[in-house]
Amino acid sequence: MDHFTALVIDKNEAGQSVAWRELTLDDLMTSEAGRDVDVRISASTLNYKDALAITGKAPVVRRWPMIPGIDFAGSVSRSAHADFKVGDKVLLNGWGVGETHMGGYAQMARVPGDWLIKRPEAFDAHQAMALGTAGYTAMLCVMALERHGLTPDAGKVLVTGAAGGVGSVAVLLLARLGFDVVASTGRLEEADYLKALGAGEVIDRAGLSGKAKPLGRETWAGAIDVAGSNTLANVLSQVRYGGCVAACGLAQGMDLPGSVAPFILRAITLAGVDSVMVAKPKRIEAWQRLARDIDSGKLAELTETHPLSDVVDLAPKILEGKIRGRIVLDVG
């Protein structure tokens, strides 16, 4: 495919612009060593970070012009990398794609082969993107709790931002693994949706979003937090002795106005979870776990599919909390 369509973000003195453009392979990153695989993209997805990039609400993009989109799944069309051949089914999450390296909102991508992994046979391209960075991050959070030794018999596990992408998949995974899941959300009208995913209880996020006490009542054996700020501080203050919180987001804010008390009096652990720069073996492990542990039927129920052309209109909605679950973008 010598010519293809892509969404391009550019910037000048007047500000940021977003437009669909027809490009050629020469418009992608050069094909010198290190950018040794071309991929024909079949599907992508919409994440919170993608929406920030498209709307310009945060300085996600650091190179212009830029094709946004931090995820994609497709098939190899050219390879100078020993691990991949033409026709291989692959996926990519992170590595600065859509930020400093041309991303997934296009029909073609050119990336280092070391950034790619082979798509698990359990998933087609659209299922892989129904998970995407959100599902992959949720799995990394579950793995962090497991490494800490958290087991289903330990007690209730809290998931904040539960109706969003990471939260929805986290609820689904934890429930399937046998945990007693409590879902926190600002959209209580989604209670039935969250219970269908496996949440045993749904609570209003307002109870966690105010100023935190140094120590609250011991409530949670563990937690997955996507909010940061006061929400994370409250969660930490309520974790039971020896518990663990996996933190992966900043939807409420980047600050953490809390206390050291939970760490030194209850011996809790705060595990930071990054999805962008994770080493390849751990990425492969996370995707293998997703292939094993996800309920594909319920994954389909929490997913909507849209043509890639809808992504500019969808981006503000995810920032406003008007999208639940996951969005797959069909790159036709």
198-241, pLDDT tens digit by residue? 999 999 999 999 999 999 999 999 999 999 999 999 999 999 99
Neighbours of 321 (CB within 10 A): 14
Percentage of the residues of the chain whose pLDDT score is greater than 70? 99
**pLDDT above 60 (res 33):** no
The number of helix segments (H) and strand segments (E) in the chain equals 9, 15
Place of tokens 């958290």: 150
CA distance 213 to 231: 11
Extents of the domains making up the chain: 3-119+302-330, 133-272
* Res. 1 pLDDT band, cuts 50 70 90: confident
Least confident of 26-30, 94-98, 120-124, 323-327: 26-30
Average pLDDT in the chain: 96
CATH 3.40.30.10, applies to 133-272: no
CA distance 318 to 51: 7
We find that the CATH architecture of domain 3-119+302-330 is Alpha-Beta Complex (3.90)
- Is 43 in contact with 331 (CB distance < 8 Å)? yes
pLDDT at 2: 83
Question: pLDDT tens-digit profile of 58-70?
Answer: 999 999 999 999 9
pLDDT at 332: 79
- Is 290 in contact with 135 (CB distance < 8 Å)? yes
CA distance 163 to 116: 29
CA distance 294 to 227: 23
Mean pLDDT value of segment 67-80: 97
Q: Angle between the 311-319 and 48-55 helix axes, to the nearest 10 degrees?
A: 110
CA distance 98 to 79: 21
* Res. 31 pLDDT band, cuts 50 70 90: low
pLDDT at 89: 98
Q: In the structure encoding, which two tokens stand for residue 95, read together? A: 């590595």
CA distance 140 to 134: 10
Q: Which of 137, 176, 126, 153 is nearest to 271 (CA)?
A: 137
Q: Which of 207, 200, 169 is nearest to 185 (CA)?
A: 207
Q: In the structure encoding, which two tokens stand for residue 186, read together? A: 């600002």
* Res. 151 pLDDT band, cuts 50 70 90: very high
Q: pLDDT higher for 125 or 12?
A: 125
The strand pair at 326-330 and 303-307 is best described as parallel
The SS3 call for residue 88 is: coil
**pLDDT above 90 (res 32):** no
Question: pLDDT tens-digit profile of 125-139?
Answer: 999 999 999 999 999
